[in-house]
Chain A
Amino acid sequence: MLEVQNIHTFIGQFHILEGVSLTVPAGSIVALLGRNGAGKTTTLKSVLGLTPPRAGKIIFNGQEIQGRRSFDIAALGIGFVPEHRAIFRDLSVAENLRIAERRKGDFARKEAFIFSLFPDLQRLIKLSGANLSGGQQQMLAVARALVPDNKLLLIDEPSEGLAPVIIEQMMEAIRQLSAETTVLLVEQNFIVASRLAQHYVIIEEGRSVQHGLMADLVNDKETIHRYLGAA
């Protein structure tokens, strides 16, 4: 589905990614792990061309997409749920969803599925984005990425700043939506990541250093300790 080959990304003068490679098999959830500032978010943004890589290749569904404009890349079927949700405050919940339509009627087609994942949103549909709680914003951000027919979702820190009950709800939603789309997930909370993802990639100081099956990583206490800090 997605193959990132040795990309190098600069932000201003700073060499943020110094060789990240990863593979996301179709139909799976891949967790991107690493400490704060390792380059996980930049990796997602590089895939989408928001911080275009200067070197390396990114292949999505057999096409090379590095160097293309972001809207062009997204239109190939990549949805983005950014770290701080980026809900449009001046738009209502309904507008926040409809703005993501790529073809007319996308929202109507997906409405039932989206509301089955996030029943709360149906109730809030007329509210403005500014009036949502953190958890509601997170649900809306994920829902927004589901409106068009995206083949791949890039989800950044879905559990950040949320109450445990909401995290459970969010995990359940991500598990359900992964039946339809492939997910590349950035997650600080290792428990959440390990329960959702089948594969993992660890990034350390801008380099991808290790990857494999999540089931193997869970038992590899040493690796967890070395790269992620937590045990």
Chain B
Amino acid sequence: METLRKNRTRLITLAALAFLFVTALQGMESEDWAITVLRGLSVGAVTFLVAAGLSLILGLMDVLNLAHGELFMVGAYVGWTVYVRPDTFIDVLPPLLLLAAGLALMPWQRALLSRLSLSPQVARLWPWAALAAALATLALTLPRFPLAIWNPDAFAQSPGAFALALDQGTLQMPAAAVFTEIAPIAGILGVLLGGALLGAAIVGLGLRRGGGAPTARLPRRPLLWAAALAAAGVAFYAGNDPLTAALFTMNSTARFFLSMAVATGVGFVLGGLIESTLIRPLYDRPIYQIMLTLGLSFIGVELVRAIWGRPEFTMPKAALFNGTGDGCPAVTLSDLLAHQCSTILLFDGRIRTYNEVFIILVGVIVLVAVWLLLQRTRLGMIIRAGVQDAEMVEALGINVRRVFTLVFALGVALAALGGVLAAPSIGLSNDMGTRLLLLALIALAIGGLTSFPGAAAGAVLVGLLQQFIIKYGQIGINLPFLAEPFKPSPPLVPASTVLLMVIILLILPNGLFGRNE
């Protein structure tokens, strides 16, 4: 009985797959079937990248991050910007790094300011004065930083035309943006000062509420961080033109991998910031957390609308996945590598290299990498232990809060990677995050909420089912009790995934890999 219950998961997974495959083979050409399976796996891989982070965060911190879909979207838009408009990307770096440099001083400022003994009146007022000064300084300098603006109204700047011109080397390099109303040095120092004042104001407001006793000595590390960030900011400003030129002349494959790396990195930093500033104060208040992450998701959509404007974009595929002409579609691996074909011939059907091969490949790599991280490293051991009992982990002398921040950042980084990965295949839109979050939540419920293999299995099942229903919508399914082949209409696609979830949860209330708690 015990072994049966233990293997129940596997039995049911196998049964579901067998059912899917039998129905799939019935009335479907083998090439259609193979392509549908690959498409399902591809959708599953993208869903998995979102679901993996959600499940890790939910398991370790009991936070259901409803903003995860929007972070997926932010990843896509950031990746798109780096890929299509690297000049804007380089232009954005200096002001952000300088602002971060100012804010990085906060721990040092806290140590310094907690030593001052001020009269209550002054202590009450100065943070507000600092805040006003900070905002004034930033308002004067930050918007004047030169920024190559993407103009969605100019047709010549449409992503496709832009990327084509890039690849053919016929692109008119956009004119470099320069400081106009203020001197560059004033802009740089102003943002740095504004950031430092803002940090001081935040520290002051915190101290007023009795945060932190005076510490013995001034910490040196924040100074080093601030110096490093400021230096990086200045370096990016000084090196703006050659960097931009280098990115524009880079081939699109390299630029695409760069945009994947940048989007993942931005996701990591964004996740760390969200956890440490917004989520951390709310660990004891689950309802507030839900409201916070839901609110963040709305803000995310509006922010993307405000920054990128146009509701929908396409992201051109990199050269590595876009070859046509001689030797394409590829039949052998060497053909594929030699001609960088956009399609491969498989069972006489064509599958797309990017959508149906590369995305799945990245999904598998991430799956293996995270699995190794969880099973083979000390951090993974701490995460697995923390999922069960974070308090006991802390009692062993481990800073669990730092692990929380790290895992949140990692989860968001995976979602952002998913976003930029999906962008060339599904395009970019304001609602891509919401749609994917729904899919990921269903996958999570199927897999058992906090189980990492469960998230993977759920995502794959959801992707497969969705693609098979879409395919049957085109070719129709032969049912024994119907004369005509049944063609599922498009609304049945999302409905079918929910139905799968309902069925699985009826049989296994804790999901496929869930644990009885």
- A82 neighbours in B (Cβ, 8 Å): 392, 395
- A70 neighbours in B (Cβ, 8 Å): 391, 394-395
Query: Is B395 a contact partner of A99 (Cβ separation < 8 A)?
Result: no
Could you tell me the distance in whole angstroms from the C-beta of B372 to the nearest C-beta in chain A? 15
Assess whether A89 is interfacial by the CB under 8 Å rule: yes
Bound-state CA distance A102–B398 (Å) is 8
Interface residues of B in 358-400 (CB under 8 A from A): 378, 381-382, 384-385, 387-389, 391-400
Query: Is B394 a contact partner of A88 (Cβ separation < 8 A)?
Result: no
Query: Is B384 a contact partner of A50 (Cβ separation < 8 A)?
Result: no
Query: Is A71 a contact partner of B399 (Cβ separation < 8 A)?
Result: yes
Assess whether A74 is interfacial by the CB under 8 Å rule: yes
One of A75, A88, A100 near B389 (C-beta < 8 A): A88
Given contacts A90-B385, A90-B387, contact A75 B393 (CB under 8 A): no
Query: Is B394 a contact partner of A90 (Cβ separation < 8 A)?
Result: no
Assess whether A86 is interfacial by the CB under 8 Å rule: yes
Interface residues of B in 29-67 (CB under 8 A from A): none
One of B387, B391, B393, B401 near A99 (C-beta < 8 A): B393
Most A C-beta atoms less than 10 A away, residue of B381, B382, B387, B399: B381
Query: Is A90 a contact partner of B395 (Cβ separation < 8 A)?
Result: no
- B381 neighbours in A (Cβ, 8 Å): 91, 95, 98-99
Interface residues of A in 65-82 (CB under 8 A from B): 69-71, 74-75, 80, 82
Given contacts A98-B381, A99-B381, contact A89 B396 (CB under 8 A): no
How many residues in A have their beta carbons less than 8 Å from beta carbons of B?
21
- B396 neighbours in A (Cβ, 8 Å): 71, 74, 80, 99-100, 144
Closest to A85 in B: B392
Interface residues of A in 131-180 (CB under 8 A from B): 144, 148
Assess whether A48 is interfacial by the CB under 8 Å rule: yes
Query: Is B394 a contact partner of A86 (Cβ separation < 8 A)?
Result: no
- B388 neighbours in A (Cβ, 8 Å): 88-90
Could you tell me the distance in whole angstroms from the C-beta of B41 to the nearest C-beta in chain A? 28
- A71 neighbours in B (Cβ, 8 Å): 394-400
- B391 neighbours in A (Cβ, 8 Å): 50, 70
One of B378, B384, B392, B401 near A86 (C-beta < 8 A): B392
Query: Is B394 a contact partner of A50 (Cβ separation < 8 A)?
Result: yes
Bound-state CA distance A137–B1 (Å) is 25
Encoded as 1 (CB less than 8 Å from any A CB) or 0, chain B from 389 to 433 comes to: 101111111111100000000000000000000000000000000
Query: Is B395 a contact partner of A48 (Cβ separation < 8 A)?
Result: yes
Encoded as 1 (CB less than 8 Å from any B CB) or 0, chain A from 38 to 49 comes to: 000000000010
Bound-state CA distance A18–B395 (Å) is 24
Bound-state CA distance A10–B399 (Å) is 23
Closest to B396 in A: A100
Could you tell me the distance in whole angstroms from the C-beta of B456 to the nearest C-beta in chain A? 17
Bound-state CA distance A82–B395 (Å) is 10
Encoded as 1 (CB less than 8 Å from any A CB) or 0, chain B from 90 to 108 comes to: 0000000000000000000
Query: Is A80 a contact partner of B382 (Cβ separation < 8 A)?
Result: no
Could you tell me the distance in whole angstroms from the C-beta of B420 to the nearest C-beta in chain A? 32
- B384 neighbours in A (Cβ, 8 Å): 88, 90-91
Closest to B384 in A: A90
Bound-state CA distance A80–B393 (Å) is 10
Could you tell me the distance in whole angstroms from the C-beta of B382 to the nearest C-beta in chain A? 7
Query: Is A75 a contact partner of B397 (Cβ separation < 8 A)?
Result: yes
- B385 neighbours in A (Cβ, 8 Å): 88, 90-91, 99
- A86 neighbours in B (Cβ, 8 Å): 389, 392
- A148 neighbours in B (Cβ, 8 Å): 397
Closest to A88 in B: B385
Query: Is B397 a contact partner of A74 (Cβ separation < 8 A)?
Result: yes
- B382 neighbours in A (Cβ, 8 Å): 99
- A74 neighbours in B (Cβ, 8 Å): 394-397
Closest to A44 in B: B395
- B378 neighbours in A (Cβ, 8 Å): 98-99
- B395 neighbours in A (Cβ, 8 Å): 48, 50, 70-71, 74, 80, 82
Closest to B375 in A: A95
Most A C-beta atoms less than 10 A away, residue of B382, B388, B397, B399: B397
Bound-state CA distance A50–B396 (Å) is 11
Could you tell me the distance in whole angstroms from the C-beta of A106 to the nearest C-beta in chain B? 11
Bound-state CA distance A99–B388 (Å) is 14
Bound-state CA distance A98–B391 (Å) is 17
- A75 neighbours in B (Cβ, 8 Å): 397
Bound-state CA distance A70–B385 (Å) is 17
Bound-state CA distance A193–B330 (Å) is 77
Most A C-beta atoms less than 10 A away, residue of B378, B382, B396: B396
Bound-state CA distance A85–B213 (Å) is 35
Could you tell me the distance in whole angstroms from the C-beta of A50 to the nearest C-beta in chain B? 6
Could you tell me the distance in whole angstroms from the C-beta of B106 to the nearest C-beta in chain A? 19
Bound-state CA distance A102–B378 (Å) is 11
Encoded as 1 (CB less than 8 Å from any B CB) or 0, chain A from 168 to 203 comes to: 000000000000000000000000000000000000
Could you tell me the distance in whole angstroms from the C-beta of B346 to the nearest C-beta in chain A? 39
- A48 neighbours in B (Cβ, 8 Å): 395
- A50 neighbours in B (Cβ, 8 Å): 391, 394-395
Could you tell me the distance in whole angstroms from the C-beta of B374 to the nearest C-beta in chain A? 10
Since A69-B401, A80-B395, A100-B397 are in contact, a sample of 13 more A-B pairs with Cβ atoms closer than 8 Å, ordered by chain A residue number, is: A69-B394, A71-B398, A74-B397, A75-B397, A86-B392, A88-B384, A88-B389, A90-B385, A99-B381, A99-B393, A100-B396, A102-B397, A148-B397
9 sampled A-B residue pairs with Cβ under 8 A: A69-B401, A70-B395, A71-B400, A80-B395, A82-B392, A88-B389, A90-B384, A98-B381, A100-B397
